[in-house]
């Protein structure tokens, strides 16, 4: 043991925070041996009383006990929400401590300022755990593909909605039934909007875009749609066609501008993203020098997320100190543009009048399931899609497009 | 530009080396801006005359031009084979230069000594490109899962044999025809033994085992079988059963001992490894805190491999200096044990006599294709497998087990 000890404080001993504490306690010896310095959990800050828990001996209740403790090298911020998480992160950085977090709201909302502040203070602000749970994605993008030119990232990055869609598929549950089940099992919040309306994946794809393109991407500017309109019939039709409905977060670099979106898509089984089930996440990265690379694993949960946080702590132990995206670099905000690519589409028509109709439109296939009628189109540009929807409305008077999904296959 | 320049020499301007040179030339500005120091290709050492090539201005022909150049920070060793690669790597490390290599023979054979030497000299010996081509796997294991306890790694890590098996599947080619095609296209060497007999994947799984378990694994002690015995009929039967034949490299940690092997298996389509086609690689990692994680991408080739080398250069730019597996740590050589797990098996019987036979053995299914007869067993221990093969030989006098493959499904 030649170097000084490396001490960690965990701020917020909830699901993920207690997982980090568990791993640090169990693996302290292994990490200490590997890095020739004592690596240890020193404090746990929580407003709850931790008496009688395995965390009792680490418990502190005053933020100053962490901030003013010069022996603490890194603070793990595992509190949710923005207010306290932001304040304590800023104070920890200003106190000269590295900060590692899984709080994606914090990273998407304040990451730009916090990364810049950390750079100025000569510490790191790391957040591998904010995207993908156990799936290594931020470090592979930053380091392994650090010389590469990334053109597109496309993924299933929200475990809650993917669990719901999988349950709708398996047991024909409605959206409401699947949501109720996800809430009962603790996968979805009482207010599920962040997941089911796509804001959580929008934050994640904004974080990945910023890293991949070296430009700041504001998640609030990303067109975002969730899964509320998806019905069990849509999912059954998708299955009959050899595909599945998935909530896809996507970002592309097009002529220096960023085309990002979150929306449900009909993913065909020729795409790797089709096989991402339940609470798993899968992320496809396209790069100039690498072609397609795919990363897959458990997208959330106590130990998978805690493991990602501990990976950031390991990075700190390696001494890597120069990989903050520089403030001057991150200061450039990306220009957001629309994704104008062509695609096949799934169009569900609602309120189709009684009677027999034939679409009479070229290159379109009608599919039905229960009382649901939908169409699969050939490859269309965005304006051709609009025309097709208009034509369908003319053929079926009174009907309206209830749902339009891009079809994602291996060619994309 | 506050820091001193970071200069790179490429040693061996073949397929991968020229790819590294191309990327460094093209991305020098991007990397220099990101890391606030000039990052540049300075020299290319090759015995060939590079006059008239894009590399002419970097060309040097004397190793001393690299070794004695104090401005060179890192040497990229992209020469193949062991003799010169080993000598120059050792000299570069002794000259105080970081070494980054894609030469898996070098890493598997001399990595232990070279990593130890680099540690003593305060430089890094990095080799992400030695396994998986474009697939980030070594850094995710070392850093992202640095606190995790890895229990198993299983992958398709040899692009040449996977290309051959895919071609046998697509067009019913024989092993010899597929090999001839792979050689014609430059995927396989004139002496294909390293690939088709499994020595290349054995080296790769030894490297991954050493990193994952923190114990040195000698590739020469890994039981290794290749794909020479696989016939087009085996592959057709696998397909009819919903699977594919893949050359699997596997390592498990069992009670502190390492059970590793390379062998062809019948991989069912419930496993992620089933979908790895052509020259792609796919690697499944099982860890205590993460469950299953899967990594997938192009397994070889000029730019994918060069990108992995450039990722190691990016790691050097981040200042990470303490992540060498310590000599004291790597000095412990792993005890190699047999994999004693139960499995279902595919057994092909050759020289079956004419006549009608029923196996009369419980829990076994006979399948035929062309003149080939094979059996799929229930789950058997290794000794039960031996008994089953004996029973089959008794039922079919004169027949012998021509091929025995483990069946790999999602439960493994």
How many A/B residue pairs have CB atoms within 8 Å?
194
CB atoms within 10 A of CB B336: 19
User: The domain that contains A211 carries what CATH number?
Assistant: 3.30.360.10
| Same domain flag for A356 and A396 | yes
| Same domain flag for B21 and B79 | yes
| Same domain flag for B190 and B81 | no
Confirm whether the ipTM is greater than 0.85: yes
Letter string b/e over residues A235-264, b meaning 16 or more CB atoms within 10 A of that residue's CB = bbbbeebebbbbbbbbbbbeeeebbbbbbb
User: Which chain B residues are within 8 Å of A148, Cβ to Cβ?
Assistant: 307, 310
Alpha-carbon gap, residue A386 to A383, rounded angstroms:
5
Residue B412 covered by a domain: no
CA B411: distance to chain centroid?
23
Residue A162 covered by a domain: yes
| Same domain flag for B37 and B96 | yes
Q: What is the mean pLDDT of residues A10-24?
A: 97
β-pair type (B72-77, B98-101): parallel
Q: Two tokens at B47?
A: 């015995």
Q: Rounded to a whole number, what is the largest CA-CA distance in chain A?
A: 83
Alpha-carbon gap, residue B281 to B299, rounded angstroms:
5
| Same domain flag for B223 and B259 | yes
Share of chain A above pLDDT 70, in %: 97
- Give the phi and the psi of residue B411 in degrees, each rounded to 5: -75, -15
Sheet strand arrangement including A98-101: A59-60, A39-45, A6-11, A72-77, A98-101, A125-126
Residues facing residue B267 across a β-bridge: B244, B408
- Exposed/middle/buried for B375, CB within 10 Å: 0-12, 13-18, 19+? buried
Residue B316 covered by a domain: no
Q: What is the mean pLDDT of residues A153-173?
A: 96
Cross-chain residue pair A290–B298, CB shorter than 8 Å: yes
| Same domain flag for B73 and B119 | yes
Q: Two tokens at A153?
A: 């990232």
The 10s digit of each residue's pLDDT in B81-123 is 999 999 999 999 999 999 999 999 999 999 999 999 999 999 9
- Exposed/middle/buried for B246, CB within 10 Å: 0-12, 13-18, 19+? buried
The dihedral of CA B95, B100, B103, B107: what is its sign?
A: positive
In Å, how far are A189, A395, B153, B278, B379 from A275, measured between CA atoms?
Answer: 25, 36, 20, 19, 26
- Please name the helix (run of DSSP H) or strand (run of DSSP E) that holds residue A264, with its range, or none: strand A257-268
Q: Two tokens at A55?
A: 């965390």
User: Which chain A residues are within 8 Å of B33, Cβ to Cβ?
Assistant: 329
Alpha-carbon gap, residue B315 to B135, rounded angstroms:
16
Mutate to test the interface with B, among A281, A307, A313, A314 (most CBs of B within 10 A): A307
| Same domain flag for A22 and A103 | yes
pLDDT score, position A410: 78
Of B214, B296, B318, the CB nearest to A293: B296
User: The domain that contains B26 carries what CATH number?
Assistant: 3.40.50.720
HEC string of A20-43 equals: HHHHHHHHHHHHHHHHCCCEEEEE
Which domain covers residue B52, as residue numbers? Answer: 6-130
**Radius of gyration of chain B, Cα coordinates, nearest whole angstrom:** 23
Residue B190 covered by a domain: yes
Helix pair angle (B83-94, B104-121), 10° resolution:
20
The 10s digit of each residue's pLDDT in B53-91 is 999 999 999 999 999 999 999 999 999 999 999 999 999
**Radius of gyration of chain A, Cα coordinates, nearest whole angstrom:** 23
The 10s digit of each residue's pLDDT in B144-162 is 999 999 999 999 999 999 9
β-pair type (B6-11, B72-77): parallel
Residue A116 covered by a domain: yes
| Same domain flag for A283 and A355 | no
- Say whether pLDDT at A1 is over 50: no
Tell me if residue B160 falls in helix, strand or coil: helix
Distance from CA of A242 to the nearest CA of B (A): 15
Tell me if residue B259 falls in helix, strand or coil: strand
Residue B331 covered by a domain: no
| Same domain flag for A181 and A92 | no
Residue spans of alpha helices (H) in A145-198: 159-171, 175-184, 193-196
A352: confidence class by pLDDT, cuts 50, 70, 90: confident
Alpha-carbon gap, residue B257 to A328, rounded angstroms:
50
User: Which chain A residues are within 8 Å of B304, Cβ to Cβ?
Assistant: 289-291
| Same domain flag for A194 and A290 | yes
Cross-chain residue pair A306–B289, CB shorter than 8 Å: yes
Alpha-carbon gap, residue B54 to B33, rounded angstroms:
24
Q: How many residues are listed for chain B in this entry?
A: 412
- DSSP state letter for B144: I
| Same domain flag for A15 and A85 | yes
Distance from CA of A80 to the nearest CA of B (A): 21
Minimal CA–CA distance to A85: which of A16, A26, A158, A137? A16
| Same domain flag for B117 and B188 | no
Q: What is the mean pLDDT of residues B311-332?
A: 82
Residue B398 covered by a domain: yes
pLDDT score, position B1: 43
Alpha-carbon gap, residue B70 to A283, rounded angstroms:
42
Q: What is the mean pLDDT of residues B334-356?
A: 89
- Are residues B345 and B351 in contact, defined by beta-carbon separation less than 8 angstroms? no
Residues facing residue A268 across a β-bridge: A243
- Exposed/middle/buried for B300, CB within 10 Å: 0-12, 13-18, 19+? buried
Distance from CA of A79 to the nearest CA of B (A): 20
pLDDT score, position A329: 64
Closest residue in A to B149 (Cα–Cα):
A27
Instruction: Cite the beta strand spans of A46-101 per DSSP E.
Output: 59-60, 72-77, 98-101
Q: Which residues contact A384 (CB under 8 A, 6 or more apart)?
A: A342
- Give the phi and the psi of residue B225 in degrees, each rounded to 5: -130, 145
CA B134: distance to chain centroid?
12
Q: What is the mean pLDDT of residues B291-318?
A: 96
pTM above 0.90, yes or no: yes
Point out the residues of B that are catalytic: 204
The 10s digit of each residue's pLDDT in A7-16 is 999 999 999 9
Residue B262 covered by a domain: yes
Cross-chain residue pair B298–A292, CB shorter than 8 Å: yes
Phi-psi region of A351 (alpha: psi -120 to 50; beta: other; left: phi over 0): left
Distance from CA of B372 to the nearest CA of A (A): 31
The number of domains in chain A is: 3
- Say whether pLDDT at B329 is over 90: no
């Amino acid at each position: 043991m030649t170097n000084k000890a490396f001490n960690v404080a965990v701020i917020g001993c909830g699901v993920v925070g207690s997982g980090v504490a568990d791993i640090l306690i169990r693996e302290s010896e292994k990490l200490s041996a590997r890095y020739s310095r004592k690596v240890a959990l020193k404090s746990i800050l929580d407003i709850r009383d931790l008496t009688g828990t395995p965390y009792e001996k680490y418990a502190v209740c005053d933020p100053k006990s962490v901030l003013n403790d010069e022996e603490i090298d890194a603070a793990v911020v595992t509190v949710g929400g923005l207010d306290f998480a932001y304040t304590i992160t800023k104070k920890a950085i200003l106190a000269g401590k590295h900060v590692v977090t899984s709080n994606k709201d914090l990273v998407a909302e304040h990451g730009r300022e916090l990364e810049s502040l950390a750079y100025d203070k000569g510490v790191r602000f790391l957040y591998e755990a904010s995207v993908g749970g156990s799936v290594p994605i931020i470090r592979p993008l930053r380091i392994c593909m650090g010389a590469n030119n990334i053109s597109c990232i496309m993924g299933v990055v929200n475990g809650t909605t993917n669990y719901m869609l999988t349950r709708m598929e398996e047991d024909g549950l409605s959206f409401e039934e699947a949501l109720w089940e996800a809430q009962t099992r603790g996968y979805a919040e009482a207010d599920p909007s962040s997941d089911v309306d796509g804001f959580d994946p929008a934050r994640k794809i904004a974080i990945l875009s910023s890293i991949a393109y070296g430009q700041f991407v504001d998640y609030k500017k990303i067109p975002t749609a969730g899964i509320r309109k998806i019905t069990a019939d849509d999912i059954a039709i998708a299955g009959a066609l050899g595909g599945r409905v998935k909530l896809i977060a996507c970002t592309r670099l097009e002529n220096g501008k960023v085309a990002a979106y979150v929306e449900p898509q009909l993913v065909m089984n020729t795409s790797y993203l089709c096989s991402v089930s339940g609470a798993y996440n899968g992320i496809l990265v396209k790069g100039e020098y690498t072609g397609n690379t795919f990363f897959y694993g458990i997208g959330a949960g106590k130990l998978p997320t805690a493991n990602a946080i501990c990976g950031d702590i390991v990075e700190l132990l390696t001494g890597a100190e120069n990989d903050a995206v520089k403030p001057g670099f991150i200061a450039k905000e990306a220009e957001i543009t629309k994704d104008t690519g062509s695609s096949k589409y799934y169009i569900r028509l609602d309120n189709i009048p009684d009677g027999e109709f034939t679409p009479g439109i070229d290159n379109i296939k009608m599919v039905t399931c229960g009382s649901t009628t939908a169409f699969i189109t050939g490859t269309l540009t965005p304006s051709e899609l609009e025309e097709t929807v208009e034509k369908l409305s003319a053929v079926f008077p009174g009907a309206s497009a209830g749902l339009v999904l891009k079809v994602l296959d291996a060619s994309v």
